[in-house]
């Protein structure tokens, strides 16, 4: 069946709590027709603290959680309004919005995943059709509920065309690595088959360590890690966790691993050790993948950390590219993905697959709140 392309606006607020990414995309749910404007709307420190105060909560009807639900929803509405107020006319007609919401808790082994954000409220404020709650059906059906972006990664890899100054696509399987709060990878085989999983911590532990010791939100440009020494004893202990030896699909909660006890490392050594943790967890996943990637493309905030990227290049032994090297926008990719998934949802196409989340059969997903409904 041939579908007409739609313009979708995807919204993503990740576990790093940097802010809201909003991005427009034109797609039929199979191929990427065009990338549209995008913006990032950073969270103020007090907003970040309020959201983080309910991390780990499952009782979403509690008054204090409901207050954060409204806050998150209304901030997303403002982000959409601000983005649409200043874009070219040919992107003004938005057919639908993909609203990921904010993950508070993720334990698929217990059949639980919690993302807050009121899709119906967002739709009423904006008078737009909104697709939300992308993960629940997958988890209820025995899947991991994550990662959900692989089908978008496949579309990007299938349409990989280098810019004149960019890098041509190599032959063989391509790995797309997203280093957000948690890191996840999609491996796309030459025939389009997908295998995906979380690899381990991404930026979350590094950010938490730096915030705890310096009050700053992250290790800008890896400056702290570059001056530190890796604590190999601590690192060996955490990497011995069964998760790293498990085959995909598999996924993690943001807080599945804990910081080193305060006072056991200097600020610099802790940053170096946690950066190495992210890198070596990615390297470890190669032993459980069904095929060896010929190239890794890195998106998410981690690609902006030169220490982390250098570590990946040393550890992986094949080309490691930033998303921008091949014409992708590494800051917008996850937001674009939820616009893409929203189009798939309204057209009844699957968004999760046996090789990506572990469900028995490909599954659709998402709750649709129609404009004016």
CATH of residue 235's domain is 3.30.420.40
Tokens at residue 142, please?
């025995």
Task: State how many domains the chain has.
Answer: 2
Q: How far is CA 151 from the centre of its chain?
A: 13
> Cα angle at 144 between 138 and 145, to 5 degrees?
50
Based on the domain organization, do 96 and 218 belong to the same domain? no
Report whether pLDDT(169) > 90.
no
Global confidence as pTM: 0.92
Dump pLDDT digits (tens) for 272-312: 999 999 999 999 999 999 999 999 999 999 999 999 999 99
Q: In a 10 Å sphere around its CB, with 0-12 CB exposed, 13-18 middle and 19+ buried, how is residue 83 labelled? A: buried
| 282 domain residue, yes or no | yes
Q: pLDDT band at 222, cuts 50/70/90?
A: very high
Based on the domain organization, do 117 and 263 belong to the same domain? no
Four-point Cα dihedral 188, 177, 57, 137, nearest 10: -10
Q: pLDDT band at 168, cuts 50/70/90?
A: confident
Please say which residue of 311, 326, 341 terminates a domain: 326
Q: What is the DSSP letter of 363?
A: B
Based on the domain organization, do 292 and 179 belong to the same domain? yes
Based on the domain organization, do 188 and 300 belong to the same domain? yes
Average the pLDDT over 66-74 and give the result. 98
Dump pLDDT digits (tens) for 336-366: 999 999 999 999 999 999 999 999 999 999 9
Q: Determine the longest span between alpha carbons in the chain, in angstroms.
A: 61
Residue 342 has a pLDDT of: 98
Q: Which phi and psi angles does 24 have, rounded to 5°?
A: -100, 145
| 363 domain residue, yes or no | yes
What is the SS3 assignment for 153? helix
Task: Report the alpha-carbon distance of residue 249 to residue 136 in Å, rounded.
Answer: 17
Q: Which residues pair with 23 in a beta bridge?
A: 10, 38
Q: What is the DSSP letter of 329?
A: -
Based on the domain organization, do 180 and 80 belong to the same domain? no
Task: Report the alpha-carbon distance of residue 14 to residue 21 in Å, rounded.
Answer: 9
Q: Are 297 and 174 in contact (CB under 8 A)?
A: yes
**367-369 and 130-132: which strand pairing?**
antiparallel
Based on the domain organization, do 268 and 219 belong to the same domain? yes
| 341 domain residue, yes or no | yes
Q: How far is CA 127 from the centre of its chain?
A: 27
Domain span at residue 353 reads 6-146+330-369
- Mean pLDDT (the chain, rounded): 94
| 119 domain residue, yes or no | yes
Handedness of CA 352, 23, 104, 258 (dihedral sign): positive
**Percentage of the chain with pLDDT > 70?**
98
Q: In a 10 Å sphere around its CB, with 0-12 CB exposed, 13-18 middle and 19+ buried, how is residue 47 labelled? A: middle
| 155 domain residue, yes or no | no
| 151 domain residue, yes or no | no
Average the pLDDT over 63-74 and give the result. 97
Dump pLDDT digits (tens) for 102-136: 999 999 999 999 999 999 999 999 999 999 999 99
Based on the domain organization, do 11 and 111 belong to the same domain? yes
Tokens at residue 70, please?
């409204």
Based on the domain organization, do 125 and 188 belong to the same domain? no
335 vs 3: which has the higher pLDDT: 335
Based on the domain organization, do 11 and 132 belong to the same domain? yes
Q: How far is CA 19 from the centre of its chain?
A: 13
| 267 domain residue, yes or no | yes
| 123 domain residue, yes or no | yes
Q: How far is CA 186 from the centre of its chain?
A: 11
Residue 262 has a pLDDT of: 84
Based on the domain organization, do 194 and 262 belong to the same domain? yes
Based on the domain organization, do 276 and 211 belong to the same domain? yes
Based on the domain organization, do 288 and 214 belong to the same domain? yes
- Nearest Cα residue to 139 out of 169, 163, 106: 106
């Amino acid at each position: 069946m041939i579908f007409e392309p739609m313009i979708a606006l995807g919204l993503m607020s990740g576990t790093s709590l940097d802010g809201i990414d909003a991005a427009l995309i034109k797609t039929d749910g199979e191929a990427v027709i065009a990338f549209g404007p995008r913006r990032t709307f950073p969270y103020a420190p007090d907003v970040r603290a309020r959201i983080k105060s309910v991390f780990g909560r499952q009782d979403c009807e509690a008054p204090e959680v409901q207050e954060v639900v409204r806050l998150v929803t209304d901030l997303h509405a403002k982000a959409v309004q601000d983005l649409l107020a200043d874009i070219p006319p040919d992107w003004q007609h938005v057919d639908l919005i993909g609203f990921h919401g904010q993950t508070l808790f993720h334990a698929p082994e217990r059949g639980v995943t919690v993302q807050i954000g009121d899709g119906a409220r967002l739709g009423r404020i904006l008078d737009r059709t909104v697709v939300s709650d992308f993960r629940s059906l997958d988890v209820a059906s025995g899947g991991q509920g994550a990662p959900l972006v692989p089908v978008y990664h496949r579309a990007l890899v299938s349409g990989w065309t280098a810019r004149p100054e960019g890098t041509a696509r190599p032959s063989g399987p391509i790995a797309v690595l997203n280093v957000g709060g948690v890191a996840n990878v999609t491996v796309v085989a030459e025939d389009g088959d997908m295998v995906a999983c979380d690899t381990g911590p991404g930026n979350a532990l590094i950010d938490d360590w730096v915030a705890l010791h310096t009050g700053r939100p992250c290790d800008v440009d890896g400056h702290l890690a570059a001056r530190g020494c890796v604590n190999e004893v601590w690192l060996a202990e955490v990497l011995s966790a069964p998760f790293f030896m498990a085959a995909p699909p598999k996924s993690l909660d943001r807080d599945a691993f804990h910081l080193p006890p305060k006072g056991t490392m200097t600020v610099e050594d802790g940053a170096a050790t946690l950066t190495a943790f992210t890198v070596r967890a990615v390297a470890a996943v190669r032993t459980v993948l069904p095929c060896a990637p010929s190239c890794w493309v890195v998106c998410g905030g981690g690609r902006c950390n030169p220490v982390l990227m250098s570590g990946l290049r040393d550890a992986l032994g094949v080309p490691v590219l930033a998303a921008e090297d091949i014409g992708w926008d590494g800051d917008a990719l996850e937001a674009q993905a939820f616009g893409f998934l929203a189009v798939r949802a309204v057209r009844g196409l699957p968004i999760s697959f046996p090789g990506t989340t572990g469900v028995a059969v490909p599954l659709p997903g998402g709750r649709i709140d129609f404009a004016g409904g």
